[in-house]
Amino acid sequence: MSKIAPSILAANSLRMGEAAHRIVDAGCDYVHFDVMDGVFVPNLSFGPGLLKDMKAEISLFFDVHLMLINPLKYVDVFAQSGANGITVHVEADRFKESLKRIRELGLKVGASLRPGTPAEALREVLPQLDLVLVMTVEPGFGGQKLNTDMLNKIRALRTMGFHGEIEVDGGVNLQNAKELAAAGADTMVMGTTFFGSDNPAQLAQKVHALGR
């Protein structure tokens, strides 16, 4: 059974409360919380304050994706603000120290790869990971087209013996989600598809029905 993790990056910033309830009411599995610093990616998004406010209002798994050049600096504040899992990029500074800190805080440990970074880059740390987030677009913006070359990266991670959770992020929709699940992906980040849907509960049900 696949999971669905709507990204609030695609929600209307003026109606974030509604967006959070829409995710819960649709029966989704995670809130995917995209954090951007304008350095690691050419965009800015949300801070720990929004996470804290959302956490106070809804009780769902907060899947925090730090697209930051120095994630270690912010791991603790996102943990204190309510993150349940934190994912950092292998291309970022102090990557291994960040993984260690997330584990020390008792959170789910995730590592992410830009499309241009091979799965091999994670080989050494795979045993420490609960989750690998395969970016299927260049991080920074929602609404892009999924890069199907990333299917081979998902397969490569499985061939490398990674049995943890593989999450995919960027341009995911119901059509390509079938292929992604068949290749070995477990969890679908959906921003544009979810918030553009006129029947989010049905979308979530269809994603849940996908299986490896």
Known catalytic residues? 34, 169
Minimum CB separation from Zn ion for residue 108, in Å?
15
Residue 190 is a binding residue for ligand DX5 (CB under 6 A): yes
d(CA 177, CA 186): 10
Q: What is the DSSP secondary structure assignment for residue 114, as one 8-state letter?
A: -
Instruction: Tell me which residues in 42-101 interact with Zn ion (CB under 5 A).
Output: 65
Among 118, 120, 143, 199, binds ligand DX5 (CB under 6 A): 143
Among 37, 63, 169, 186, binds Zn ion (CB under 5 A): 169
Give residues with Cβ within 8 angstroms of 62, minimum separation 6. Answer: 30, 31, 33, 51, 54, 55, 82, 83, 84, 85
Residue 10 contacts which entry, Zn ion, ligand DX5, none (Cβ below 5-8 A, type-dependent): ligand DX5
Among 2, 81, 187, 192, binds ligand DX5 (CB under 6 A): 192
d(CA 146, CA 138): 9
Residue 31 contacts which entry, Zn ion, ligand DX5, none (Cβ below 5-8 A, type-dependent): none
DSSP string for 178-210: HHHHHHT--EEEESHHHHT-S-HHHHHHHHHH-
Pick 102 or 169: Cβ nearer ligand DX5? 169
Dmax (CA) of the chain: 43
Pick 48 or 171: Cβ nearer ligand DX5? 171
Scanning the chain, the segments in alpha helix (DSSP H) are 16-25, 48-57, 72-80, 95-104, 150-159, 174-183, 192-195, 200-209
Site string for ligand DX5, 63-92 (x = CB under 6 A): --x-x-------------------------
Reading the block at residue 136, the tokens are 């299927």
Instruction: Tell me which residues in 16-45 interact with ligand DX5 (CB under 6 A).
Output: 32, 34
Q: Which residue is nearest to Zn ion (CB)?
A: 65
* HSE-CB for 84 with a 13 A CA cutoff: 12
Residue 167 contacts which entry, Zn ion, ligand DX5, none (Cβ below 5-8 A, type-dependent): none
Residue corresponding to tokens 């091999």: 120
Minimum CB separation from ligand DX5 for residue 127, in Å?
26
d(CA 75, CA 83): 9
Judged by the rule CB under 6 A, the positions of this chain that interact with ligand DX5 are 7, 9-10, 32, 34, 65, 67, 137, 139-144, 169-172, 189-193
Judged by the rule CB under 5 A, the positions of this chain that interact with Zn ion are 34, 65, 169
